[in-house]
Amino acid sequence: MTANPVLLQKKYARIVERFSERQKLSLNDALDCFYHSVTYRLISERVSNLHCMSDEYLMEELISEYDGKI
């Protein structure tokens, strides 16, 4: 299954915004965390159709990854 690049960009924006709010980070810091995460790499490479998962699920994955690095 291929994802529309525009829809993926919108999905990324929603995930980053929620992540920023939840972790109390600036949008720039949240964006930096997202683009350097394994979660982003897996979504962008469309591994296991991860890009089809809900924004909430993907944000939780990102939080788990972020919390593990602190």
Where do the domains of the chain lie?
5-69
CA distances from 60 to 1, 2, 6, 8, 40 (A): 23, 23, 22, 17, 12
Percentage of residues of the chain with pLDDT beyond 70: 94
| Global confidence as pTM | 0.88
Q: Which residue has the higher pLDDT, 55 or 44?
A: 55
